[in-house]
Amino acid sequence: MTAQLLAPTTTPTGATTLTFAKAITLGLRAALAADDKSLIMGEDVGRLGGVFRVTDGLQAEFGEDRVVDTPLAESGIVGTAIGLALRGYRPVCEIQFDGFVFPAFDQITTQLSKMHYRSRGRLQVPVVIRIPFGGGIGAVEHHSESPEVLFAHTAGLRVVSPSTPQDAYDMIRAAVASPDPVIFLEPKGRYWSKGEVDLSAPPAPGILDTARVARPGTDVTLVAYGPTVATALKAADALAGEGTSAEVVDLRAVSPLDIPAVVASVRRTGRCVVVHEAPTVHGVGAEVAARVTEEAFHYLEAPVIRVGGFHAPYPVAKLEHDYLPSVDRVLDAVDRSLAF
Amino acid sequence: MSSRSTGETGLVQLLDPEGARVTTPENESYRERVAHVKGDDLRGMYRDMLLTRRFDDEATALQRQGELALFAQSRGQEAAQVGSAHAMAPQDYVFPSYREHGVLHVRGVDPVDRLRLFRGQDHGGWDPTEHNTHLYTLVIGSHALHATGYAMGVQRDGLVGTGDPARDTAVVVYFGDGATAQGDVNEALVFAAVNNTPQVFLVQNNQWAISEPTTRQARVPLAERGLGFGIPGVRVDGNDVLACYAVTLEALERAHSGGGPTLVEAFTYRMGAHTTSDDPTRYREREEEEYWRRRDPIDRLGALLRAEGEWDEVWAAGVEAEAEALGERLRTEVRALGAPPTAAMFEHVYATPHATVADERAWLAEYEQADEPADHETATEATR
């Protein structure tokens, strides 16, 4: 594929409409162009362009040394990326699916996360690990998991997930530029959704630390990230029809959590519902609930309520609609909060 | 028990256990490679091995006195380490596991710094970029992949096959026989082979992975492991410092020139325990230790020096004095290594600010400050 084929569609107004996946592609392309020490490595990322085609066309444009088809060995991908980073490179690893990251889990948690720490800052390992994550696409076992807490619990890693094409474009560039290792979780169920993207947006390094208010509101705060931001926004639409004003906070980052942003919102609304696909037990929602309780207890009109997956392996595709937090389950949680 | 993996077959050897030169048609190319290694060079290797052993002895004593949390001796493996390290160029990069004290000695890593990890004072201890020598890695075999990735970076930097000995760069990774069973080591061999990395995998087969003999890790000589990956393997007498030097030199020449990776198995023996935590008398026989004691690498080189009239009593006394001074320095300076300030646990977790770390650091500082008067009061009460 030529570079020309990567060119986005530009509308007459100057805004650019892109799919989520293409926004990441162009973010990666910008990162590769900006720094010749950056490179992409993973299974099938070259000629195939990745199983989701996120790296489509990049090998043709940047060559086989910059977009590297690796052996089928996840620990090897991350472990060699660490070595490349120690030599001054900025590798972006693609893990094909969420459930396949575990062979690399040791390298990520015992090595990647700690190299800067145990060298007392003498060594940096600016490795990005891209993982298509989450469910809702009718996939088979190991293809729909939400492992974010396992990484967020590990000091030394930054864990982020974009929810819009614009954020995907901005956040992947920020992740590649970050001197810290970043677990970059791509909500695969959103890959084909479209949105406007300003490709001339300047780099936004703070975007990996900062939540955003996706929709302002006054009666209840819905906290979400990645794939469930869209669910929360749909729920907010439905609530608006019922006369309830919901504010949606998109965390963007799971580590670090932007607690001040969540607390500020809850102080305005008095109620908080956290929505994520990962199991609620020991999850991000538990952390948000604890922090909100500590820092905004007197503002709360109701307990913080969590909506998420269950303490069961990700179910078969025929049952995932019962597992994933639906708009109805979010509305039910809001009703419980309002009724408290 | 397979004799094939434990037997001393197919070893490159230049000095026999009595310290006499071995001259066979098979080792001719290696003999030629080290023909220039004479007097001062040989004495230098002897000195490095002796100082490494003294480092071991002092560190073990410090651990027994409660000054170190743990220590892993290199006793018996000095030839494999010192010989291979002498073959490297300064720009070559080393990834050690955790008992490569002889390698670190040759690379110039300060002996006190080498003990900070074992003291519980630091997770690293030295600046890897200063010595082109990475930190110790405790998770078995993980660093084989780091070495391979680093070597891929060296390739991209265009520092292979330049023909300039001051620029051509290779990576040497050390691990033990137990690590060859790990997935990461096998994945590293795959990545190294398909990328033709400038790299030497140096397995110190010291016969024991804690209490498990090599036969629990492999059914074939470890050097043969390379063949299935398309990586040449060489088996060397790991207690013969000259052979270890020659074999590593050959492997590094291949790496520097673009010939790709080599797997070297240094067949040696760990004379001590795996670490100060285990007791080898529970799992191995005294006869075996005696057998290897007679093959001691330091004695072997000493015998050669004496036989060839290279032994110098004044020089030997100087090395002994140097070893004494090293011991004294370790005893004094390691004991003086105190705990870092509490806030150090929050430093360098990230390269850029992270809100959670900042919050917890501030909380602990406040807590400790608030706690001080209480401690003071308790102390005052106790003295009343």
B362 and B266 housed in the same domain: no
Domain that holds residue B378: 342-383
- pLDDT (mean) for B237-254: 98
How many percent of chain B have pLDDT more than 90?
A: 93
Domain that holds residue A109: 17-198
B300 and B359 housed in the same domain: no
pLDDT of residue B45: 98
Does the annotation count A276 as an active-site position? no
A186 and A62 housed in the same domain: yes
Contact status, residue A241 vs residue A272, Cβ threshold 8 Å:
no
Residue whose tokens read 């989520």: A20
Mutate to test the interface with B, among A37, A39, A87 (most CBs of B within 10 A): A87
Nearest to A43 by CA among A68, A13, A18, A79: A68
pLDDT 10s digits, A307-340: 999 999 999 999 999 999 999 999 999 999 999 9
pTM for the whole structure: 0.95
> Chain A window 51-70: which residues touch B at a Cβ cutoff of 8 Å?
65, 70
Cα gap A153→A159, rounded to integer Å:
10
* Domain presence at residue A7: no
pLDDT 10s digits, B290-308: 999 999 999 999 999 999 9
Whichever domain contains A285, its CATH number is 3.40.50.920
Q: Is B350 left (phi over 0), alpha (psi -120 to 50) or beta?
A: beta
pLDDT of residue A337: 98
Question: How many C-beta atoms lie closer than 10 Å to residue B303's C-beta?
Answer: 18
Nearest to B297 by CA among B50, B73, B129, B91: B50
Secondary element (H or E) of residue B120: none
Q: Does A294 touch chain B (CB under 8 A)?
A: no
Q: Does A290 touch chain B (CB under 8 A)?
A: no
Reported residue count of chain B is 384
pLDDT 10s digits, B138-154: 999 999 999 999 999 99
Position with higher pLDDT, B6 vs A207: A207
Nearest to B206 by CA among B72, B65, B370, B24: B72
A184 and A226 housed in the same domain: no
How does the average pLDDT of chain B come out, rounded?
A: 94
Chain A positions in Cβ-Cβ contact with residue B172 (cut-off 8 Å): none
> What pLDDT band is residue A15 in, cutting at 50, 70 and 90?
confident
Output the CA torsion B118→B120→B126→B127 (10° steps).
140
Nearest to A294 by CA among A261, A338, A340, A259: A259
Contact status, residue B76 vs residue B239, Cβ threshold 8 Å:
yes
Q: Does A82 touch chain B (CB under 8 A)?
A: yes
Nearest to A30 by CA among A171, A143, A158, A133: A171
Point out the domain boundary residue: A198, A222, A243.
A198
A136 and A258 housed in the same domain: no
pLDDT 10s digits, A235-258: 999 999 999 999 999 999 999 999
Task: Examine the predicted complex and report whether its ipTM is higher than 0.85.
Answer: yes
Who's near A273: CB < 8 A, 6+ residues apart?
A220, A221, A222, A223, A304, A305, A306, A307, A330, A333, A334, A337
Output the six-digit token pair for B291. 């057998």
pLDDT 10s digits, B74-84: 999 999 999 99
Packing angle between helix B183-195 and helix B142-156, nearest 10 degrees?
A: 20
Contact status, residue A291 vs residue A257, Cβ threshold 8 Å:
yes
Whether residue A13 has pLDDT greater than 80: no
Point out the domain boundary residue: B335, B351, B371.
B335
B62 and B158 housed in the same domain: yes
pLDDT of residue A240: 98
Chain B positions in Cβ-Cβ contact with residue A118 (cut-off 8 Å): 122-124, 135
A117 and A153 housed in the same domain: yes
Who's near A296: CB < 8 A, 6+ residues apart?
A263, A266, A267
How many percent of chain A have pLDDT more than 70?
A: 96
> What pLDDT band is residue A4 in, cutting at 50, 70 and 90?
very low
What amino acid is encoded at A319 in this protein? L
A154 and A110 housed in the same domain: yes
pLDDT of residue B370: 87
Output the six-digit token pair for A188. 């695969």
pLDDT 10s digits, B246-298: 999 999 999 999 999 999 999 999 999 999 999 999 999 999 999 999 999 99
